[in-house]
Structure 1
Amino acid sequence: MEIERKFLLAAPPDPGHPVLSAARRVQLEQIYLSVGPAGEERIRHWRCGDTERFFHTLLTPLRPGVRTIDEREIGPEAYARLRRRGDPGRQPVVKERWLFDWRGRLFELDIIREPASRACRILEVQLDKERQQVSLPEFLLIDREVTGHPAFSNADIARG
């Protein structure tokens, strides 16, 4: 089970900030195969430096900010085969993910580039409990929390 909170940034982050300059950066392409009330099926191409990985994921929502995830690593051939099954109503989501620690918690800052009409910056944090307090990084300008707002789900962003 994944418990996650999401925040929309109001301004681009400062990549020169010491925390962000030390962040691990991953390039992601995410393709949705199906999306419905019962859940989502997606594939993801993950690239960090010279390392590439491919994943197939089933996500089932339980309540806003909480869902179950069944994810397995697949090979590049399976990814290419599944990619052809992509939902025609959704575009690939292309983003750069910056992973960094802040006060003992791992944060993911997604810089969403494609589809260009939905480009934005979303900060995500995984929690252990639903009502857990979280200390947000002061060096990021947060616009608002968007946990549970459908317009800020990657599946909706993929609509363009």
Structure 2
Amino acid sequence: MKRIVLTGGPCAGKTTALVKIMEHFSSLGYKVFIIPELPTIFLQAGMDYLTDNRAFFYEGEKATLEMQMALEDRFQRMAETIAQPVLVVCDRGTLDISAYMKPELWEEITSSVGTNTESLRSRYDAVLHLVSAADGAEQFYTTETNKERTEGLELARELDKKVIHAWSGHPRLRVINNHEKFETKLERVLQEISDVLEIPRQAVEERKYIVRLTGEIPGAITSRITQTYLTSEPKSEVRLRRRTLNGISVNVRTTKKTLRNNDQVETERQIDNNLYESLLRQADPYRQTIRKTRQTFIWQGQFFELDTYIEPMKDLQILETKGIVENEDVNFPPFIEVIEDITGQTKYYNYNLALKG
């Protein structure tokens, strides 16, 4: 059983995506459960998330969190009775709730129900964030598809960034760009879920550029990454990654295996510190540990990762964007100077950059 969160800013296409997910994976033999969006149900029942009454707001948000957790847990129990593989998709998850309040209040609420952010984050195998149409696809933005939605473009963009920040510590957060064709966005959702389910798929190449940062990145999320490659079989790659964000470290073991016809299977597992330290003993003796800082951000509906390398190379900056289809332009922000397009150049893959000279 896999549990996935489908989230994003307002008017991101979640409703349509959920229908596609149900149809596609049911046809592959999965029992698919869709857990509905709890805040919308609460709004329809009379909850007011914009109230100035702090006590009312507190009890409403606390109830939303408790009900979200309870609903997910109940569906898990149901899933455990089914012999066929199960996919549980949550229309928003527990950490979405934190995006709509101050950190102090969120900590108060989670403590009162006996949990915390790290525990809530670990409930999910993956998080797919669909970028709001308000950022890069404004012509498609509307409030008509959800009568509870009242925000304008600027507020929608701000909410989009708050939601992605709430989930930024998850080791398998994937951001789904806006595209000229909405069908392309839906296809990316299906591809990412296939990865989580370890269903072989055609390898998708990211676009990469050597760049120079010329100014500050508005709203960037900055983390530190330590990446170590382990000894592995031919045509496979095993990587240990420790990502530190806001003083909290998350360890992930990733295995990539290339099959025939360039099909690729990628598995990711979050591991504890003890296992992380133990696996470091299997480090590939021919490769060095990579250390870098990563800044992630959205610009005009596209998601970017800017890596600034510290070791073994220094000051190399590589900009990467995923989900850009053929013949689609990259929306380079004004604070990025592109030096060279290195898409497809294997010498710039981290696996090769780590090779000892």
* Residue of structure 2 in register with 1:112 after alignment: 309
* Residue of structure 1 in register with 2:206 after alignment: 4
Q: 1:56 aligns with which of 253, 257, 271?
A: 253
Whole-angstrom CA distance in 1 between matches of 2:304 and 2:278: 32
3-state secondary structure, aligned to 1:156: helix
Q: Which residue identity does 1:51 align to in structure 2?
A: I
Whole-angstrom CA distance in 1 between matches of 2:225 and 2:280: 14
* Residue of structure 2 in register with 1:86 after alignment: 283
Q: Deviations over 1:66-98 (max 9, x none)?
A: 954311111111111111100001010000000
* TM-score w.r.t. length of structure 2: 0.39
* TM-score w.r.t. length of structure 1: 0.83
3-state secondary structure, aligned to 2:332: coil
How far the C-alpha of 1:5 sits from its partner, in A, is 1.0
Are the aligned partners of 1:97 and 1:111 in contact in 2 as well (CA < 8 Å)? yes
Closer/same/farther in 2, CA of residues 40 and 70 from structure 1, 3 Å limit:
same
1:38 is aligned to 2:235: yes
3-state secondary structure, aligned to 1:137: coil
Residues 1-160 of structure 1 mapped to structure 2, 5 A cutoff:
2-9=204-211, 11=212, 13-14=213-214, 16-17=215-216, 20-34=217-231, 38-61=235-258, 68-116=265-313, 119-127=315-323, 129-130=325-326, 132-160=328-356
Closer/same/farther in 2, CA of residues 131 and 57 from structure 1, 3 Å limit:
farther
The structure where helix makes up a greater share of residues is: 2
Instruction: Pick which of 80-89 and 130-139 moved more.
Output: 130-139
Are the aligned partners of 1:35 and 1:155 in contact in 2 as well (CA < 8 Å)? no
How far the C-alpha of 1:3 sits from its partner, in A, is 4.0
3-state secondary structure, aligned to 2:305: strand
- Identify which of structures 1 and 2 has the higher relative contact order when contacts are C-alpha pairs closer than 8 Å and 6+ apart: 1
Computing the radius of gyration from Cα coordinates, the structure with the larger value is: 2
How far the C-alpha of 1:133 sits from its partner, in A, is 3.2
The number of aligned residues is 151
Percent pairwise identity: 30
Whole-angstrom CA distance in 2 between matches of 1:49 and 1:86: 27
Q: Can you give the 5+ residue segments of structure 2 that lack an aligned partner in the other structure? A: 1-194, 196-203
How far the C-alpha of 1:135 sits from its partner, in A, is 1.6
